[in-house]
Structure 1
Amino acid sequence: MAKRVTLFEPPPLDPSKAPIENVLELTPVLDIGPDVFTNTRPLWHPPGARGIYGGAAIAQSLAAAQRTVPANFFVHSMHCYFVLAGDSEIPILYHVERVRDGKSFATRTVQARQRGRPIFTTTLSFSREGSGGKKTIEHAVPMPDVQLPPPEDNPFLKRLSNSGESGPFESRRAGILNRNSPHPTDKRIRQFNRCRGQISAEGGHQAHLSALAYITDSYFIGTVARVHDIPRFSSPAALQRALKALKNPSDLDDDTIANYLKDLAEEETAELRSRLEGALSKAQNSDKEVGMMVSLDHTIYFHNPSAFRADEWMLNEMESPWSGEGRGLVTQNIWSKDGVLIATCIQEGLIRLKQDDKKEDSGKTRASKL
């Protein structure tokens, strides 16, 4: 008997809604409580990842919390912790706690649980639209001078679309600022993102905010490896390990993901080749290979919630101010197609390199026992 990956039988996809709206759809679980929800559809487990795509937990927690605040209250900050890897073969229950309801602000906490244990927790703050008054202090980091929207007629860029042609959003590379700098902190990774299809009017601005939250986790902590020129697939064997790690890809088929990963590997090879002579051979024989990369926490500050559409091209720029002690920190700015800064994000993650000097490790172990 097949294992049920959702609490209830998923309904047919709603063609009047964008794919991201179907992916993030929630079902109330009234038998447990008035503010408890579950994922309506299976969630994606990215190849090689320890659990579900983190953006799904972020976005569905936001969607659940949004259901408990007035329609004219919009999220302005969200502080998240990834506690345990989410299992894509088990339903998730989102428990919302109404911490505070004020005239201008409302606070919510959400716990995502599996088997009764929290796998993800977040605290969100909402503000009433227009509560800042007519006179406000305003400034924002300007959008970099890049072409937007990205060119549509480049077949190489089309191959880099997120998760093939069936994923809920697509991504395109927008280059690396200071690519050849020897200092990782100088580099800025840029990419374009947008949801596929058109988000429905029924979903309102809340649907666009949830979609944006989903996208923010895409390739976020991976910035640390990129600014250090450490490819995710440093050898054919590493690529094969990622392909074998495919698990419950939800609305994505194995061929789609396999082709995507192969294109991604080709992109990294080309990128390394363009940076310095001999980079390919160094990557194939490098002693630096990422052994584990896991997000620990994730913060989103939402700006101008009504000034963008998540189904239109947005520009993301990521940089890493620090890494060390097996962790890395990344910041991200996101602009709308009109150049409005719509979000600032921060993420810290666990980044451990493969340790293959077993003799040295065993020596250290013996010394520690003396």
Structure 2
Amino acid sequence: MMNNIQELIKLIELEKLSENIFLGQNYQAPWKRVFGGQVLAQSLSAATQTVDPDRMAHSMHAYFLLAGDISIPIVFEVEKIRDGGSFSTRRVVAKQNGIAIFFMSVSYQKAQEGFDHQIDMPKVEGPENLPSDEDVVKKYKLFVPNHLFEVIKTRPFEFRMVEKINIFDLKTKLPFRHFWFKANEAFEATPAVHQQLLTYVSDYNLLTTSILPHTKGPLPPKGLFMASLDHGLWFHRDFKIDEWLLYAIDSPSASNSRGFNRGNIFTQDGVLVASVVQEGVIRAGK
């Protein structure tokens, strides 16, 4: 469990073993597998430590190869692919027991002037009067597993779903989801750390959006298997993760036991700061 944002920042910082090799510990998730957002954020942290600080990550593309063992630290090996006049490229391979469980390519860029446009933020209710995930779980505590309640209570982020959650509503839903989130306390950090924390959070609620048209009720049915296959993230503009951000997610397609999901992340003022895509395995239990 993690009780505050500083514990998460420490988890993502990594131990430097050599110029291009880093060691990371694991969040002890109750589902006994390494959380995808953790290895995404740690890989970005490793790559960023090998790039000039005047260059910020603008995109990453990653593949999850094997489920990580939370009892074994992860070694991150960074390959310096290229440093050009404006862009730098890095490749990161995450390993346990010498076997690759994950790899990522990351591109960095110096700040530059250019064309600027964005889509509008969806017209949804703001976060002020919405219940938090913890409020919802408390409401339905008798129907929610204890480990889930503990996980939500100790997360370093606060989440507020726009769509109302009713545990007794057993209808299927359209594959759309909106939620507000922010760090549960204010803190000072570099823009790179805010990027790494957003990378961590970007893995929340993505894959489960693709099962909304196929499951009844807000809780995944017993026997359902879900696992992320790949993850792409683009940073568009500056942001602070200790201020409210809206994650607008949709799932355009599910087929061949895979669910495809995408999301846009906005500030409360409507500024588009990041975009995300992810595909994962979704298999119904027998």
Q: TM-score, normalised by structure 1?
A: 0.67
Q: Find the partner of 1:36 among 18, 21, 28.
A: 21
Q: Find the partner of 2:273 among 339, 342, 366.
A: 342
Structure 1 residue matching 2:240: 3-state secondary structure: coil
Task: Flag the 1:18–1:196 CA change in 2: closer, same or farther, 3 A.
Answer: farther
2:180 is matched by which residue type in structure 1? Answer: F
> In the alignment, what sits opposite 1:110?
92
Contact 1:321–1:330 (8 Å) recurs in 2: yes
Q: C-alpha separation between the residues in 1 aligned to 2:67 and 2:39?
A: 11
Who wins on radius of gyration, i.e. which is larger?
A: 1
1:62 is matched by which residue type in structure 2? Answer: L
1:143 is matched by which residue type in structure 2? Answer: M
- Aligned length in residues: 270
More helix by share: 1
2:98 is matched by which residue type in structure 1? Answer: G
Q: Find the partner of 2:53 among 54, 60, 71.
A: 71
The one-character-per-residue Cα deviations of 1:231-276 (angstroms, maximum 9, x if unpaired) are: 57467xx4xxxxxxxxxxxxxxxxxxxxxxxxxxxxxxxxxxxxxx
1:37 is matched by which residue type in structure 2? Answer: F
Shift, 1:109, TM fit: 0.3
Structure 2 residue matching 1:222: 3-state secondary structure: helix
Contact 2:61–2:233 (8 Å) recurs in 1: yes
Q: Find the partner of 1:151 among 97, 104, 129.
A: 129
> In the alignment, what sits opposite 1:222?
208
Shift, 1:229, TM fit: 3.4
Q: C-alpha separation between the residues in 1 aligned to 2:158 and 2:66?
A: 27
Shift, 1:339, TM fit: 1.2
- Are 2:154 and 1:166 aligned? yes
2:122 is matched by which residue type in structure 1? Answer: P
2:198 is matched by which residue type in structure 1? Answer: L
Contact 1:157–1:173 (8 Å) recurs in 2: no
Q: TM-score, normalised by structure 2?
A: 0.85
1:43 is matched by which residue type in structure 2? Answer: Y
Identity %: 32
> In the alignment, what sits opposite 1:87?
69
Task: Flag the 1:300–1:159 CA change in 2: closer, same or farther, 3 A.
Answer: farther
Contact 1:171–1:191 (8 Å) recurs in 2: yes
The one-character-per-residue Cα deviations of 1:270-302 (angstroms, maximum 9, x if unpaired) are: xxxxxxxxxxxxxxxxxxx62x11100000011
Q: C-alpha separation between the residues in 1 aligned to 2:126 and 2:219?
A: 30
Shift, 1:35, TM fit: 1.0
The one-character-per-residue Cα deviations of 1:207-235 (angstroms, maximum 9, x if unpaired) are: 10000000000121111112333457467
Query: Which segments of 5 or more consecutive residues in structure 1 lack a partner in the other structure?
Result: 1-12, 239-288, 356-370
> In the alignment, what sits opposite 1:97?
79
> In the alignment, what sits opposite 2:107?
125
Contact 1:106–1:126 (8 Å) recurs in 2: yes
Query: Which segments of 5 or more consecutive residues in structure 2 lack a partner in the other structure?
Result: 140-148
Q: C-alpha separation between the residues in 2 aligned to 1:45 and 1:158?
A: 18
Structure 1 residue matching 2:53: 3-state secondary structure: coil
Contact 1:199–1:207 (8 Å) recurs in 2: no
